[in-house]
Structure 1
Amino acid sequence: MNGSSPLIYVVEDEEDLGKLICASLSDYRYQVQYCATGKALFAALENQSPEICIVDLNLPDIDGMQLVKELEHRAIGVIIVSGRGGLTDRVLGLEFGADDYITKPFEPRELVARVQSLHRRLEKQKKQLEQAPKQALFANWSFQPESLSLSREGQSESLSRAEGDMLLALLKHPFQILSRDQLLGENCVPYDRSIDVRMSRLRKKIESDPQHPELIKTVYGAGYMLTTDVKWR
Protein backbone atom coordinates (compact mmCIF):
# COMPACT_ATOMS: atom_id res chain seq x y z
CA MET A 1 0.00 0.00 0.00
CA ASN A 2 1.21 3.44 -0.87
CA GLY A 3 2.27 5.18 2.35
CA SER A 4 0.92 8.49 1.06
CA SER A 5 -2.64 7.23 0.59
CA PRO A 6 -5.25 8.29 3.19
CA LEU A 7 -5.50 6.27 6.39
CA ILE A 8 -8.95 5.14 7.52
CA TYR A 9 -9.95 3.44 10.77
CA VAL A 10 -13.00 1.17 10.61
CA VAL A 11 -14.69 0.73 14.00
CA GLU A 12 -17.19 -2.11 13.68
CA ASP A 13 -17.95 -4.93 16.14
CA GLU A 14 -19.26 -7.26 13.40
CA GLU A 15 -15.98 -8.72 12.24
CA ASP A 16 -17.24 -9.99 8.88
CA LEU A 17 -18.73 -6.61 7.99
CA GLY A 18 -15.66 -4.79 9.26
CA LYS A 19 -13.39 -6.88 7.07
CA LEU A 20 -15.69 -6.40 4.07
CA ILE A 21 -15.52 -2.61 4.54
CA CYS A 22 -11.74 -2.77 4.87
CA ALA A 23 -11.40 -4.90 1.75
CA SER A 24 -13.65 -2.58 -0.27
CA LEU A 25 -11.64 0.48 0.75
CA SER A 26 -8.32 -1.27 0.14
CA ASP A 27 -9.43 -1.96 -3.43
CA TYR A 28 -9.53 1.82 -3.89
CA ARG A 29 -6.01 2.29 -2.52
CA TYR A 30 -6.90 3.47 0.96
CA GLN A 31 -4.85 2.40 3.94
CA VAL A 32 -7.22 0.75 6.39
CA GLN A 33 -7.03 -0.42 9.99
CA TYR A 34 -9.81 -2.43 11.64
CA CYS A 35 -10.91 -1.81 15.25
CA ALA A 36 -13.52 -4.04 16.87
CA THR A 37 -14.03 -1.79 19.91
CA GLY A 38 -13.81 1.82 20.99
CA LYS A 39 -10.86 0.90 23.20
CA ALA A 40 -9.02 -0.46 20.17
CA LEU A 41 -9.68 2.79 18.32
CA PHE A 42 -8.29 4.96 21.12
CA ALA A 43 -5.19 2.75 21.27
CA ALA A 44 -4.72 3.20 17.50
CA LEU A 45 -5.18 6.97 17.83
CA GLU A 46 -2.27 7.05 20.27
CA ASN A 47 0.00 5.81 17.48
CA GLN A 48 -1.39 7.60 14.44
CA SER A 49 -4.29 9.86 13.55
CA PRO A 50 -6.31 8.82 10.48
CA GLU A 51 -7.97 11.09 7.98
CA ILE A 52 -11.35 9.40 8.39
CA CYS A 53 -13.02 7.13 10.95
CA ILE A 54 -15.96 4.93 9.98
CA VAL A 55 -17.88 4.29 13.21
CA ASP A 56 -20.63 1.80 14.01
CA LEU A 57 -22.95 3.02 16.77
CA ASN A 58 -23.50 -0.36 18.43
CA LEU A 59 -20.12 -1.09 19.98
CA PRO A 60 -19.61 -3.47 22.90
CA ASP A 61 -17.62 -1.14 25.16
CA ILE A 62 -18.74 2.44 24.41
CA ASP A 63 -21.79 4.16 22.99
CA GLY A 64 -21.07 5.00 19.38
CA MET A 65 -22.54 8.49 19.68
CA GLN A 66 -20.20 9.26 22.56
CA LEU A 67 -17.30 8.00 20.48
CA VAL A 68 -18.30 10.35 17.64
CA LYS A 69 -18.41 13.23 20.10
CA GLU A 70 -14.92 12.33 21.33
CA LEU A 71 -13.64 12.52 17.75
CA GLU A 72 -15.33 15.85 16.98
CA HIS A 73 -12.37 18.11 17.77
CA ARG A 74 -9.59 15.81 16.55
CA ALA A 75 -9.66 17.07 12.94
CA ILE A 76 -10.79 13.63 11.75
CA GLY A 77 -13.59 13.01 9.27
CA VAL A 78 -16.34 10.80 10.71
CA ILE A 79 -18.84 8.62 8.87
CA ILE A 80 -21.42 6.81 10.98
CA VAL A 81 -22.47 3.36 9.78
CA SER A 82 -25.45 2.03 11.71
CA GLY A 83 -28.60 -0.02 11.65
CA ARG A 84 -30.27 2.87 13.44
CA GLY A 85 -31.98 4.71 10.63
CA GLY A 86 -34.43 6.77 12.63
CA LEU A 87 -34.71 10.54 12.49
CA THR A 88 -33.52 10.99 16.08
CA ASP A 89 -30.31 9.05 15.51
CA ARG A 90 -29.52 10.94 12.31
CA VAL A 91 -30.04 14.29 14.01
CA LEU A 92 -28.01 13.24 17.04
CA GLY A 93 -25.18 11.97 14.86
CA LEU A 94 -24.96 15.33 13.10
CA GLU A 95 -25.21 17.24 16.36
CA PHE A 96 -22.29 15.24 17.73
CA GLY A 97 -20.16 16.18 14.72
CA ALA A 98 -20.45 13.34 12.20
CA ASP A 99 -19.77 14.29 8.58
CA ASP A 100 -22.02 11.63 7.08
CA TYR A 101 -24.48 8.93 8.13
CA ILE A 102 -25.18 5.72 6.24
CA THR A 103 -27.67 3.08 7.34
CA LYS A 104 -27.31 -0.68 7.18
CA PRO A 105 -27.69 -2.61 4.99
CA PHE A 106 -25.69 -0.78 2.36
CA GLU A 107 -23.68 -1.54 -0.73
CA PRO A 108 -19.91 -1.37 -0.11
CA ARG A 109 -19.53 0.77 -3.23
CA GLU A 110 -21.90 3.34 -1.75
CA LEU A 111 -19.72 3.62 1.36
CA VAL A 112 -16.62 3.96 -0.81
CA ALA A 113 -18.32 6.80 -2.69
CA ARG A 114 -19.12 8.56 0.60
CA VAL A 115 -15.51 8.15 1.72
CA GLN A 116 -14.23 9.53 -1.57
CA SER A 117 -16.53 12.55 -1.30
CA LEU A 118 -15.44 13.29 2.26
CA HIS A 119 -11.78 12.83 1.34
CA ARG A 120 -12.09 15.35 -1.50
CA ARG A 121 -13.71 17.85 0.82
CA LEU A 122 -11.03 17.42 3.48
CA GLU A 123 -8.28 17.93 0.91
CA LYS A 124 -10.01 21.04 -0.40
CA GLN A 125 -10.35 22.38 3.12
CA LYS A 126 -6.63 21.84 3.82
CA LYS A 127 -5.71 23.86 0.73
CA GLN A 128 -8.13 26.62 1.66
CA LEU A 129 -6.70 26.85 5.16
CA GLU A 130 -3.17 27.06 3.78
CA GLN A 131 -4.18 30.00 1.61
CA ALA A 132 -6.50 31.74 4.06
CA PRO A 133 -5.53 34.54 6.43
CA LYS A 134 -4.89 33.30 9.94
CA GLN A 135 -7.66 35.17 11.73
CA ALA A 136 -11.09 36.66 11.07
CA LEU A 137 -12.51 39.38 13.32
CA PHE A 138 -16.30 39.89 13.44
CA ALA A 139 -18.80 41.07 16.05
CA ASN A 140 -16.17 40.97 18.83
CA TRP A 141 -15.30 37.39 17.89
CA SER A 142 -11.94 36.14 16.65
CA PHE A 143 -12.01 33.01 14.49
CA GLN A 144 -8.89 30.98 13.69
CA PRO A 145 -9.73 28.68 10.75
CA GLU A 146 -6.67 26.49 11.20
CA SER A 147 -7.55 25.50 14.76
CA LEU A 148 -11.34 25.87 14.35
CA SER A 149 -11.41 28.04 17.46
CA LEU A 150 -13.54 31.05 18.35
CA SER A 151 -12.68 33.47 21.11
CA ARG A 152 -13.69 36.78 22.59
CA GLU A 153 -13.09 38.36 25.97
CA GLY A 154 -13.90 35.80 28.64
CA GLN A 155 -15.24 33.19 26.24
CA SER A 156 -13.91 30.56 23.86
CA GLU A 157 -15.57 27.96 21.67
CA SER A 158 -14.31 25.01 19.66
CA LEU A 159 -16.07 24.26 16.40
CA SER A 160 -16.46 20.96 14.63
CA ARG A 161 -15.01 20.88 11.14
CA ALA A 162 -18.49 21.06 9.58
CA GLU A 163 -19.35 24.10 11.68
CA GLY A 164 -16.02 25.70 10.85
CA ASP A 165 -16.56 25.13 7.13
CA MET A 166 -19.92 26.88 7.24
CA LEU A 167 -18.64 29.79 9.30
CA LEU A 168 -15.63 30.23 7.02
CA ALA A 169 -17.89 30.35 3.95
CA LEU A 170 -20.07 33.00 5.61
CA LEU A 171 -17.07 35.04 6.75
CA LYS A 172 -15.70 35.10 3.21
CA HIS A 173 -19.01 36.46 1.89
CA PRO A 174 -20.53 38.87 4.45
CA PHE A 175 -23.87 40.43 3.53
CA GLN A 176 -24.32 37.86 0.76
CA ILE A 177 -26.96 35.14 0.73
CA LEU A 178 -25.39 31.69 0.58
CA SER A 179 -27.54 28.74 -0.40
CA ARG A 180 -27.54 25.46 1.48
CA ASP A 181 -25.52 23.85 -1.31
CA GLN A 182 -22.92 26.63 -1.11
CA LEU A 183 -22.59 26.18 2.64
CA LEU A 184 -22.39 22.40 2.53
CA GLY A 185 -20.27 22.01 -0.60
CA GLU A 186 -19.42 18.32 -0.88
CA ASN A 187 -20.32 17.82 2.75
CA CYS A 188 -23.82 16.73 1.76
CA VAL A 189 -25.41 14.23 4.09
CA PRO A 190 -28.45 12.63 2.44
CA TYR A 191 -30.78 14.14 5.00
CA ASP A 192 -32.84 17.27 4.40
CA ARG A 193 -32.26 18.90 7.78
CA SER A 194 -28.48 18.42 8.00
CA ILE A 195 -27.74 22.09 7.30
CA ASP A 196 -30.36 23.19 9.85
CA VAL A 197 -28.85 21.02 12.57
CA ARG A 198 -25.34 22.33 11.96
CA MET A 199 -26.49 25.93 11.68
CA SER A 200 -28.35 25.57 14.97
CA ARG A 201 -25.16 24.33 16.66
CA LEU A 202 -23.13 27.19 15.20
CA ARG A 203 -25.66 29.80 16.29
CA LYS A 204 -25.64 28.46 19.85
CA LYS A 205 -21.92 29.25 19.96
CA ILE A 206 -21.84 32.72 18.44
CA GLU A 207 -25.28 34.30 18.90
CA SER A 208 -26.35 36.16 22.05
CA ASP A 209 -29.84 34.73 21.55
CA PRO A 210 -29.76 31.68 19.25
CA GLN A 211 -33.56 31.64 19.06
CA HIS A 212 -33.48 35.14 17.58
CA PRO A 213 -30.20 35.24 15.63
CA GLU A 214 -28.73 38.57 14.60
CA LEU A 215 -25.36 37.56 13.12
CA ILE A 216 -26.52 34.77 10.81
CA LYS A 217 -29.92 35.47 9.34
CA THR A 218 -32.14 32.93 7.64
CA VAL A 219 -33.34 34.14 4.24
CA TYR A 220 -36.34 31.90 3.75
CA GLY A 221 -36.31 30.01 0.49
CA ALA A 222 -32.79 31.21 -0.32
CA GLY A 223 -30.28 30.36 2.40
CA TYR A 224 -28.31 32.20 5.09
CA MET A 225 -26.51 35.54 5.34
CA LEU A 226 -23.85 36.90 7.70
CA THR A 227 -24.91 40.41 8.71
CA THR A 228 -21.72 41.89 10.14
CA ASP A 229 -18.43 43.30 8.88
CA VAL A 230 -15.41 40.99 8.76
CA LYS A 231 -11.74 41.91 9.00
CA TRP A 232 -9.00 39.45 8.10
CA ARG A 233 -5.45 39.50 9.33
Structure 2
Amino acid sequence: MARKILVVDDEKSIVKALCYALKKEGYEVGKAFDGIEALKVYEVFKPDMIILDIMMPRFNGYDFCKKIMGEKVWILMVTAKTDVIDKVLGLELGADDYITKPFDIRELLARVKSGIRRMDKSMKEGQRNTSIRRGELELIYENRQAILRNEDMELTPKEFLLLYELLANPNKVYSRDELLDKVWGMEYVGGTRTVDTHIQRLRRKLGKKYEKLIYTVHGVGYKGRADI
Protein backbone atom coordinates (compact mmCIF):
# COMPACT_ATOMS: atom_id res chain seq x y z
CA MET A 1 0.00 0.00 0.00
CA ALA A 2 1.32 3.45 -0.95
CA ARG A 3 2.32 5.80 1.83
CA LYS A 4 0.00 8.79 2.25
CA ILE A 5 1.54 12.26 2.34
CA LEU A 6 -0.29 15.53 3.04
CA VAL A 7 1.26 18.68 1.52
CA VAL A 8 0.35 21.95 3.31
CA ASP A 9 1.51 25.30 1.91
CA ASP A 10 -0.17 28.57 1.01
CA GLU A 11 1.91 28.86 -2.18
CA LYS A 12 -0.08 26.98 -4.82
CA SER A 13 2.91 26.64 -7.16
CA ILE A 14 4.87 24.83 -4.44
CA VAL A 15 1.93 22.53 -3.62
CA LYS A 16 1.50 21.69 -7.30
CA ALA A 17 5.20 20.91 -7.78
CA LEU A 18 5.43 18.79 -4.61
CA CYS A 19 2.26 16.85 -5.39
CA TYR A 20 3.56 16.07 -8.89
CA ALA A 21 6.97 14.92 -7.62
CA LEU A 22 5.51 12.79 -4.81
CA LYS A 23 2.93 11.12 -7.04
CA LYS A 24 5.71 10.31 -9.50
CA GLU A 25 7.49 8.51 -6.65
CA GLY A 26 4.39 6.40 -6.00
CA TYR A 27 2.97 8.17 -2.96
CA GLU A 28 -0.72 8.91 -2.41
CA VAL A 29 -0.95 12.67 -1.94
CA GLY A 30 -3.40 15.06 -0.28
CA LYS A 31 -3.12 18.85 -0.22
CA ALA A 32 -4.22 21.93 1.74
CA PHE A 33 -3.43 25.63 1.47
CA ASP A 34 -3.65 26.73 5.11
CA GLY A 35 -3.70 25.22 8.60
CA ILE A 36 -7.47 25.20 9.03
CA GLU A 37 -8.04 23.39 5.75
CA ALA A 38 -5.16 21.05 6.65
CA LEU A 39 -6.88 19.97 9.87
CA LYS A 40 -10.02 19.03 7.92
CA VAL A 41 -8.07 17.13 5.27
CA TYR A 42 -5.96 15.45 7.97
CA GLU A 43 -9.02 13.99 9.70
CA VAL A 44 -10.31 12.43 6.47
CA PHE A 45 -7.07 11.58 4.64
CA LYS A 46 -5.17 10.12 7.66
CA PRO A 47 -1.67 10.68 6.25
CA ASP A 48 1.51 8.88 7.29
CA MET A 49 3.52 12.06 6.75
CA ILE A 50 2.85 15.80 6.50
CA ILE A 51 5.02 18.28 4.60
CA LEU A 52 4.08 21.42 6.49
CA ASP A 53 4.86 25.05 5.72
CA ILE A 54 5.21 27.15 8.86
CA MET A 55 4.35 30.67 7.70
CA MET A 56 0.74 30.50 6.48
CA PRO A 57 -2.22 32.89 6.90
CA ARG A 58 -5.19 32.21 9.23
CA PHE A 59 -3.64 29.26 11.06
CA ASN A 60 0.10 28.70 10.78
CA GLY A 61 2.20 25.56 10.99
CA TYR A 62 2.99 26.02 14.69
CA ASP A 63 -0.75 26.16 15.47
CA PHE A 64 -1.30 23.04 13.38
CA CYS A 65 1.44 21.15 15.25
CA LYS A 66 -0.14 22.07 18.58
CA LYS A 67 -3.52 20.75 17.42
CA ILE A 68 -2.24 17.32 16.40
CA MET A 69 0.44 16.98 19.08
CA GLY A 70 0.75 13.35 20.14
CA GLU A 71 -0.58 11.93 16.86
CA LYS A 72 1.43 9.20 15.14
CA VAL A 73 2.37 11.13 12.01
CA TRP A 74 5.77 12.22 10.70
CA ILE A 75 6.04 15.99 10.15
CA LEU A 76 8.56 17.50 7.74
CA MET A 77 8.55 21.23 8.51
CA VAL A 78 9.15 23.67 5.65
CA THR A 79 10.32 27.14 6.63
CA ALA A 80 11.58 30.27 4.90
CA LYS A 81 13.09 31.41 8.19
CA THR A 82 16.74 30.71 8.89
CA ASP A 83 16.79 31.55 12.61
CA VAL A 84 17.65 28.54 14.76
CA ILE A 85 14.96 29.45 17.32
CA ASP A 86 12.20 29.11 14.68
CA LYS A 87 13.40 25.64 13.73
CA VAL A 88 13.77 24.61 17.35
CA LEU A 89 10.22 25.75 18.14
CA GLY A 90 8.76 23.66 15.33
CA LEU A 91 10.77 20.60 16.30
CA GLU A 92 9.81 20.92 19.96
CA LEU A 93 6.13 21.17 18.98
CA GLY A 94 6.34 17.75 17.38
CA ALA A 95 7.93 18.19 13.96
CA ASP A 96 10.43 15.45 13.09
CA ASP A 97 12.60 17.13 10.48
CA TYR A 98 12.89 20.45 8.67
CA ILE A 99 13.95 21.86 5.33
CA THR A 100 14.55 25.53 4.50
CA LYS A 101 13.14 27.35 1.47
CA PRO A 102 14.25 27.53 -1.26
CA PHE A 103 15.00 23.81 -1.44
CA ASP A 104 15.93 21.31 -4.13
CA ILE A 105 13.09 18.85 -4.77
CA ARG A 106 15.64 16.01 -4.71
CA GLU A 107 16.66 16.91 -1.17
CA LEU A 108 13.03 17.00 -0.06
CA LEU A 109 12.35 13.59 -1.59
CA ALA A 110 15.44 12.21 0.16
CA ARG A 111 14.15 13.53 3.49
CA VAL A 112 10.74 11.98 2.82
CA LYS A 113 12.36 8.59 2.17
CA SER A 114 14.54 8.96 5.28
CA GLY A 115 11.46 9.76 7.37
CA ILE A 116 9.63 6.70 6.08
CA ARG A 117 12.62 4.48 6.90
CA ARG A 118 12.66 5.84 10.44
CA MET A 119 8.90 5.30 10.81
CA ASP A 120 9.31 1.68 9.69
CA LYS A 121 12.22 1.16 12.08
CA SER A 122 10.25 2.71 14.93
CA MET A 123 7.29 0.40 14.27
CA LYS A 124 9.53 -2.69 14.31
CA GLU A 125 11.17 -1.62 17.56
CA GLY A 126 7.77 -1.01 19.08
CA GLN A 127 6.62 -4.50 18.11
CA ARG A 128 9.51 -6.03 20.03
CA ASN A 129 8.71 -4.30 23.30
CA THR A 130 5.31 -2.61 23.23
CA SER A 131 4.94 -1.46 26.83
CA ILE A 132 6.97 -0.60 29.91
CA ARG A 133 5.67 -0.44 33.47
CA ARG A 134 7.28 1.20 36.49
CA GLY A 135 4.92 1.13 39.44
CA GLU A 136 1.94 3.35 38.57
CA LEU A 137 3.58 4.52 35.34
CA GLU A 138 2.95 2.70 32.07
CA LEU A 139 4.33 3.56 28.63
CA ILE A 140 2.56 2.00 25.62
CA TYR A 141 4.74 2.35 22.55
CA GLU A 142 2.18 1.39 19.92
CA ASN A 143 0.01 4.48 20.45
CA ARG A 144 2.63 6.66 22.21
CA GLN A 145 0.55 6.69 25.39
CA ALA A 146 1.87 7.42 28.88
CA ILE A 147 -0.36 6.62 31.86
CA LEU A 148 0.45 7.73 35.41
CA ARG A 149 -1.87 6.79 38.29
CA ASN A 150 -4.57 5.80 35.76
CA GLU A 151 -4.45 9.25 34.12
CA ASP A 152 -3.14 10.01 30.63
CA MET A 153 -0.01 12.15 30.72
CA GLU A 154 0.19 15.01 28.25
CA LEU A 155 3.55 14.30 26.63
CA THR A 156 4.81 15.61 23.31
CA PRO A 157 6.00 12.92 20.84
CA LYS A 158 9.64 13.71 21.65
CA GLU A 159 9.03 13.64 25.42
CA PHE A 160 7.43 10.22 25.09
CA LEU A 161 10.23 8.80 22.93
CA LEU A 162 12.89 10.21 25.25
CA LEU A 163 11.28 8.72 28.36
CA TYR A 164 10.66 5.41 26.57
CA GLU A 165 14.28 5.18 25.39
CA LEU A 166 15.62 5.74 28.90
CA LEU A 167 13.25 3.32 30.65
CA ALA A 168 13.51 0.61 27.98
CA ASN A 169 17.24 0.38 28.70
CA PRO A 170 17.56 0.86 32.47
CA ASN A 171 20.98 1.74 33.84
CA LYS A 172 22.39 2.34 30.35
CA VAL A 173 24.17 5.71 30.43
CA TYR A 174 23.38 7.91 27.43
CA SER A 175 25.30 10.98 26.38
CA ARG A 176 23.20 13.90 25.18
CA ASP A 177 24.43 13.31 21.63
CA GLU A 178 23.28 9.68 21.79
CA LEU A 179 19.82 10.74 22.94
CA LEU A 180 19.59 13.31 20.15
CA ASP A 181 20.41 10.59 17.63
CA LYS A 182 17.98 8.08 19.17
CA VAL A 183 15.04 10.45 19.63
CA TRP A 184 15.46 13.16 16.99
CA GLY A 185 17.33 11.02 14.49
CA MET A 186 19.30 13.78 12.83
CA GLU A 187 21.88 16.51 13.44
CA TYR A 188 19.60 18.65 15.57
CA VAL A 189 19.91 22.39 14.95
CA GLY A 190 19.19 23.35 18.57
CA GLY A 191 22.16 21.50 20.06
CA THR A 192 22.28 19.21 23.08
CA ARG A 193 20.62 21.75 25.39
CA THR A 194 17.25 20.62 24.04
CA VAL A 195 17.79 17.24 25.75
CA ASP A 196 18.15 18.99 29.11
CA THR A 197 15.01 21.05 28.40
CA HIS A 198 12.98 17.93 27.61
CA ILE A 199 14.31 16.13 30.69
CA GLN A 200 13.26 19.07 32.88
CA ARG A 201 9.75 18.98 31.41
CA LEU A 202 9.50 15.22 31.89
CA ARG A 203 10.53 15.48 35.52
CA ARG A 204 7.92 18.14 36.18
CA LYS A 205 5.21 16.02 34.57
CA LEU A 206 6.30 12.85 36.38
CA GLY A 207 6.19 14.55 39.78
CA LYS A 208 8.36 14.13 42.88
CA LYS A 209 8.13 10.34 43.11
CA TYR A 210 8.53 9.30 39.49
CA GLU A 211 11.01 11.98 38.43
CA LYS A 212 13.60 9.77 40.14
CA LEU A 213 13.27 7.32 37.24
CA ILE A 214 15.50 9.70 35.28
CA TYR A 215 18.97 9.96 36.78
CA THR A 216 21.55 12.59 35.83
CA VAL A 217 25.06 11.24 35.27
CA HIS A 218 27.12 14.37 35.82
CA GLY A 219 29.53 15.23 33.04
CA VAL A 220 28.03 12.55 30.78
CA GLY A 221 24.27 12.59 30.34
CA TYR A 222 21.33 10.56 31.68
CA LYS A 223 20.16 7.06 32.48
CA GLY A 224 16.80 5.50 33.27
CA ARG A 225 16.20 3.44 36.40
CA ALA A 226 14.52 0.06 36.69
CA ASP A 227 12.84 1.11 39.92
CA ILE A 228 12.40 4.15 42.14
Give the Cα–Cα distance (whole angstroms) in 2 for the partners of residues 27 and 186 of structure 1. Answer: 31
Of 156, 167, 174, the residue aligned with 1:171 is: 167
Cα 1:186–1:164, aligned 2, differ >3 Å: closer, same or farther? closer
Q: State the partner residue of 2:222.
A: 224
What percent identity do the matched residue pairs reach?
A: 28
> Please, what is the CA RMSD of the aligned residues?
2.7
With over 3 angstroms needed to count, the CA separation of the structure-2 counterparts of 1:172 and 1:220, relative to structure 1, is same
Q: How far is 1:182 from its partner? A: 5.5
Q: 2:213 aligns with which of 207, 215, 218?
A: 215
Question: 1:183: how far off?
Answer: 5.3
Structure 2 alignment gaps of length 5 or more: none
Equivalent residue pairs, number = 224
- Partner residue in 2 for 1:100: 97
Note closer, same or farther for the CA distance 1:190–1:23 as it changes in structure 2 (3 Å cut): farther
1:199–1:35 CA distance, 2 compared to 1 (3 A): farther
Aligned equivalents of 2:192 and 2:91: distance in 1? 9
Aligned to 2:110: 113
After superposition, the Cα gap between the structure-2 partners of 1:139 and 1:224, relative to the gap in structure 1 and judged at 3 Å, is farther
Structure 1 residues 53 and 14: CA distance shift in structure 2, 3 A: same
For 1:186 and 1:217, locate their aligned partners in 2 and report how far apart those are by CA, in whole Å: 18
Q: Which residue of 2 aligns with 1:68?
A: 65
**Which whole-Å CA distance do the structure 1 matches of 2:119 and 2:59 have between them?**
27
Shift of residue 220 of structure 1? 5.7
Q: Is 1:153 aligned to 2:149, yes or no?
A: yes
Structure 1 segments unaligned to the other structure (5+ residues): none
| Contact 1:121/1:186 (8 A) holds in 2 | no
TM-score (norm 1): 0.83
Q: 1:26 to 1:194 in 2, by over 3 A?
A: farther
Distance 1:140 1:84 in 2: 43
Whether the 8 Å CA contact 1:166–1:184 is kept in 2: the answer is: no
Q: Distance in 1 between matches of 2:183 and 2:133?
A: 26
SS of 1:158's partner is coil
Larger mean CA deviation between 109-118 and 162-171 belongs to: 162-171
Question: Are the equivalent residues in 1 in contact too, given 2:52–2:61 (CA < 8 A)?
Answer: yes
Match for 1:137 among 111, 129, 133? Answer: 133
C-alpha distance in structure 2 between counterparts of 1:156 and 1:114, whole Å: 32
AA in 1 matched with 2:162:
M
CA distance in 1, matches of 2:27, 2:135: 42
Q: Give the structure-2-normalised TM-score.
A: 0.84
The structure where helix makes up a greater share of residues is 2
Which residue of structure 2 lines up, in the alignment, with residue 5 of structure 1? 2
The Cα offsets for residues 42-83 of structure 1, whole Å up to 9 and x where unpaired, read as: 221232210011111111220221111212222111111010
Residue of structure 2 equivalent to 1:122: 119
